[in-house]
């Protein structure tokens, strides 16, 4: 019996008068009698919904959302009110798990702050589709770096090579009209050190985030950080080019770190304080290195070196838009008031940046280096 047939049978047998409510105990017996048991997490959710109702009934639409893996606000309130007790055994006590399931459990404890969310994610997670976005972006960045490294015969500080800035992927203020460069610069990197740092964070933080929150949300957050990075540079550091995926990387990392801080008591990842300090030190060091290369280049250069403002813009996107996304696990973003506020702010920034790039350079008489 498929999902739609089950829902139709439920409504016909348990709600023939179309009142909109179904008895929780009767529903559970019906599911087991038809040999279509829900996973343990969903059955727990059903009990929570029933216990939040004085008559032990579940709203039919909430039941549809539950079976469709959509959690409603009333369910969230039922959990928050403490009207049900979660099983004493946490996921760490699950015996006999395979390698992949252990990894899923690890991801649940790394990313999610509440036991109920961890149970929900663990039982409903499917290996297909895999987290392809972050892996694909990282692979593409490595391939592009290897191609340019072999072509230029230079693997560190590639931006000092006179041919590097001629790439059609690099953002250069002289090529602002080529709009694709505001995004494609993320595939180019200063050198092996920047690529290694970004790739490591994309795989260690980006992949788990994508596994939990999905391709659409994480790709949106990453690309929003990348776009905000290049646009911010075009406003605040008008003579500088931009390379590297740091805007997207800092959006992901800042969102995750802010989420950990705001849910500190509930996060169960080991050594979280030490890891938080190390992450902040590494991110600050990367920003410091970018500032040093921008204002005190160690080698003679034909023009300004890439700006560091993309890092900071990505961090702002992560703390604002990213935190809103990560706090809305299994809830539709369009139902969150905060999401529309953040989206409006980001849209306003985009419009301002577009007008700035179109008019401000000429009005201010900015002296930008000639495009390569």
Strand partners, 22: 58
Active site residue 256: no
Nearest to 336 by CA among 344, 347, 328: 328
Nearest to 250 by CA among 312, 324, 327, 343: 312
Q: Are 294 and 304 in contact (CB under 8 A)?
A: yes
DSSP state of 171: B
Nearest to 121 by CA among 61, 58, 39, 62: 39
Tokens read off for 121: 């994610």
Active site residue 320: no
- Dihedral (CA of 130, 133, 136, 138) sign: negative
Q: At residue 56, what are phi and psi to the nearest 5 degrees?
A: 65, 40
| Exposure string for 353-367, b = 16+ CB within 10 A, e = fewer | beebbeeebeeeeee
Q: Give dist(CA 148, CA 192) in Å, integer.
A: 11
Catalytic residue among 246, 254, 307, 320: 246
Catalytic residue among 52, 167, 311, 320: 311
**Catalytic amino acids?**
246, 311
């Amino acid at each position: 019996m498929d999902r739609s047939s089950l829902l139709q049978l439920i409504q016909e047998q348990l709600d023939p008068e179309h009142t909109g409510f179904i008895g929780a105990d009767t529903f559970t017996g019906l599911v087991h009698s038809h040999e279509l048991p829900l996973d343990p997490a969903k059955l727990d959710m059903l009990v929570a919904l029933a216990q939040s109702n004085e008559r032990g009934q579940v709203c039919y639409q909430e039941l549809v959302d539950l079976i469709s893996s959509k959690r409603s606000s009333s369910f969230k309130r039922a959990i928050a009110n403490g009207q049900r007790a979660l099983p004493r055994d946490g996921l760490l006590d699950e015996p006999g798990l395979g390698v992949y399931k252990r990894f899923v459990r690890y991801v649940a404890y790394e990313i999610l702050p509440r036991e109920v969310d961890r149970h929900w994610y663990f039982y409903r997670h499917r290996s297909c589709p895999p987290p392809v976005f972050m892996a694909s972006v990282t692979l593409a960045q490595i391939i592009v770096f290897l191609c340019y490294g072999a072509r230029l015969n230079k693997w560190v500080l590639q931006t000092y090579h006179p041919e590097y800035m001629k790439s059609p992927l690099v953002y250069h203020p002289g090529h602002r009209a080529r709009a694709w460069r505001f995004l494609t610069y993320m595939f180019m990197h200063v050198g092996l050190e920047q690529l290694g740092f970004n790739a490591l964070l994309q795989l260690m933080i980006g992949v788990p985030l994508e596994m939990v929150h999905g391709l659409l949300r994480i790709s949106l957050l990453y690309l929003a950080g990348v776009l905000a990075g290049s646009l911010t540079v075009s406003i605040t550091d008008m003579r500088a080019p931009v390379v590297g995926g740091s805007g997207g990387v800092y959006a992901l990392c800042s969102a995750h770190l802010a989420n950990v801080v705001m849910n500190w008591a509930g996060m169960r990842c080991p050594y979280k304080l030490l890891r938080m300090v190390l992450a902040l030190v590494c991110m600050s060091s990367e920003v410091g290195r970018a500032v040093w290369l921008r204002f005190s280049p160690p080698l003679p250069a034909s023009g300004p070196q890439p700006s560091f403002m993309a890092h900071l813009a990505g961090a702002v996107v992560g703390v604002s838009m990213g935190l809103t996304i990560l706090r809305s696990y299994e809830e539709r973003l369009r139902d969150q008031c905060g999401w529309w506020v953040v989206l409006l702010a980001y849209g306003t920034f985009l419009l301002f940046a577009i007008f700035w790039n179109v008019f401000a350079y000429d009005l201010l008489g900015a002296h930008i280096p000639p495009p390569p």
